[in-house]
Structure 1
C-alpha cells in the first residue's frame, strides 16, 4: 500500500456517529465501505463515501458477500438496536476482523460487546456529556479526558500566574498541572518553556488530573 493510501475500513451503521466516523476516515485518505439497513441513510451517505450499501449486517452470509473478512478494521456504529449491534460484532469477530470498534449506549451494552468480540468500545454520548459538563466551567475552552482522572485542557490563563514566567509560577508544584503550550491571538501555538511569560489574554494548554485542572482554572479568577 502506498504511503498516501490508507487501508480501507468497514463502517456499519450510518447514523450520526457512524456517518461522522466514516466521513472523517474518508477525509484522512481511507476508502470506506458504509453499510446500513435504512435506505434513507444509505442514500444520504452515497455521495460522501467510497461505497455505500443497503444490507442487514447482522447476517453472517451477508457480511461474507460484502467481503467483510477482507477488512482489517471495522466500526459498528449501531446504537439504539442493541441486539443488532451485538449480532454484528459477533459476526465480524467470527469472520476474523482484527480490529473491531463498537459504539455502546451504556456500560452493560459495552460489556456485552467486549464479550462478543469488540476490541474497542466507545461511549460517545457519555463522553460528550462529561465534556459538556466540564466546559460549563467558563474558563475551560476545550477538554479531553483520558481515563477517569487524567485530561488535557485549553483554558484562559488564571490571573494568579499572569505576568510571571512559568519557572516562577511553579504550576506543577503549586497546582499539579503542566503547562504544555500557550496560544496568543494572531500568533502560532507556542510550546511552553520555563522562561515563557504568561500574558493577560493568553490561552494555555495544560495536562494533569481533572480535579487539578479545574482547580487551576478557578484560581485567581
Structure 2
C-alpha cells in the first residue's frame, strides 16, 4: 500500500498524539480504537481477521486486514509515521511479540503493548516496551479496592504511587487542612475536594472538610490505602 494512502505525521510537534495505530481489534484494541476516533484522533486499525476488519469499516479513519508480524507490511502501511502504536494482540503471544519487535525497530512511535500474563509482560519489557498494559489484571486490582467499600475510585501509577477517591475520616473533618499535618502524620496529601452537588476543586491550607465531602488522596500505595480505612 502506498505511503501517501495516509496523511503525513509529526510526533515532534506536540506531546499529544494526533495519530495512533492500533494493532489487534479485539475487545480491548477495538474499544480503544473507537474511543480514540471519538476524540478526534486519526486511527489506523489493523487486524488479521477479515470479519473483524469489516465490522470496523466506516467507524475508524483507516482499517485494514494485514499480517502485522511482517516488517515490510508495517512499512507499507506507514506505521512508522504514526505518533503512537498500540499492540492489542492478546490471544497470540508470538504475534504480539513479533509485531512489537518490528515496531521497535522503527524507533519512532511510542508503543503501548497489551500483555495477558506476567511472563508475557516481562518479555515485552525486556524488548524495551515502556508501556506494558494488563487490562484484566489492572482492572481486577482496581475493582478489588472498590469492593472493599472505603474507596470510591482508585488509580495506581508507577513507583508505588496512587490516587484514591474516598470520604474524609473523622480525624480530618471540621478543621483547616493546613493545621492537620497530614503529610507528616499519614504520609499523604489531600489534593482535591468535592462538595455534595458541587464540582471538584483544588484544596488549600484553609480548606475545611466535612463528612459528606469526597476527596482525592495521593501518596504511596500503603499509606494512602491505610488512610482511606481510617474511621
> Where does residue 38 of structure 1 map in the other structure?
49
What is the CA RMSD across the aligned residues, in angstroms?
A: 2.2
> Where does residue 150 of structure 1 map in the other structure?
161
1:175 aligns with 2:186: yes
Q: Secondary structure at the match of 1:140?
A: coil
1:208 to 206, 210, 219: 219
After the TM superposition, which of the residue ranges 41-50 and 76-85 deviates more from structure 2?
Answer: 41-50
After the TM superposition, which of the residue ranges 187-196 and 197-206 deviates more from structure 2?
Answer: 187-196
Once the two structures are TM-superposed, the CA of residue 96 in structure 1 deviates from its matched residue by 4.1
Rounded Cα–Cα distance in structure 2 between residues aligned with 1:147 and 1:71: 26
Rounded Cα–Cα distance in structure 2 between residues aligned with 1:199 and 1:177: 18
Query: What is the TM-score of this pair, normalised by structure 2?
Result: 0.85
1:88 aligns with 2:99: yes
> Where does residue 132 of structure 2 map in the other structure?
121
1:134 aligns with 2:135: no
Count of residues in correspondence between the two structures: 219
Once the two structures are TM-superposed, the CA of residue 155 in structure 1 deviates from its matched residue by 0.3
> Where does residue 190 of structure 1 map in the other structure?
201
> Where does residue 31 of structure 2 map in the other structure?
20
Rounded Cα–Cα distance in structure 2 between residues aligned with 1:88 and 1:141: 38
- Superposed CA deviations along residues 115-173 of structure 1, whole A, max 9, x for unmatched, are 44534222222211221122223121111111252101110121222222212333222
- Segments of 5+ residues of structure 2 without an aligned counterpart are 1-9
